Structure 1
């Protein structure tokens, strides 16, 4: 279904359209009066979705839910999109906690890979709503966090705080913390996996 010549405003709940396959939402330009004025979009029950394209909107909150058939996602020139699938995030968090408590190197490596893919997807979505300058600041945030985790240098910590401050113009504090937290989990999984491998070699 395509929303183009229709003016949208407020919350758009499409959860009753359980057979929805493709969803396109377009504004007609980046000017404020040309954007689709959405505040939230609910499609978490539309499990048959294969393609989602959302361009030129003021969309704030997006509830995707599980999309096993999703093949294509495109978000371009939206003001800011905040994913509010808290249940899914909580489940992933609990799974990570469980994996971190287990002494299995292969399991930790697989979990690390999944977390890295999630982080890459999250960063890609964030960048799709940023100009080039803020994209560079986001990359700097990631690089600074890596440096803090690996070497804990004072310069990296200072740069990290600077990046966070600048990015609050385009990302919420929770979104920034979610990115940094995911990087901490990835680093912890890698550290634990390496320790287990060393113990295995000694045995």
Structure 2
């Protein structure tokens, strides 16, 4: 889904672009932190997903890689890659009540308090996947009114560093998004005695952090508030 953002450090490879939900950005060989990267859709109609970015030579190969990643039935037998070292984590509405007025304002925000329970897990298909844990109707926020069945995939995110390796995964097993995701409510910029409004961008956010383990030298952070 568009409009999301990510933060990440990468040790090389990668580039601008996206996935079924994918991160965009220039190659980052220095390993410096990149913030606020917009999510782009990995689709054949998105010209930003170039043959160079996917490390293939022709537009036909580009289309084959995109169809493979998106799980088109004619491109692959199984839509989900193997989950090896990545332990699933489930995230629902915040439940803790803390002696922190900023946090309590955040957790009571309608789109946060009513967010669905979602399971996040990495797989060796190059994606971090998000699945609905239970039958859900979104009641607040930009997706209000949408309905999802338990087990339905909501979205998947392809780290930029994975994009040039997707073609190779079509013919041989690759370790890709193989790290365990960790989720925490974090304060972006807290000053002593300062109380932030529930929707203050410098206040609380629910952040999902994951590495790639054997899949590459990168850590990425997604805002899943």
TM-score by length of 1: 0.24
Structure showing the higher strand proportion among its residues = 2
Structure showing the higher helix proportion among its residues = 1
TM-score by length of 2: 0.22
Which structure has more relative contact order (CA 8 Å, sep 6+)? It is 2
Which of the pair has more CA radius of gyration? 1
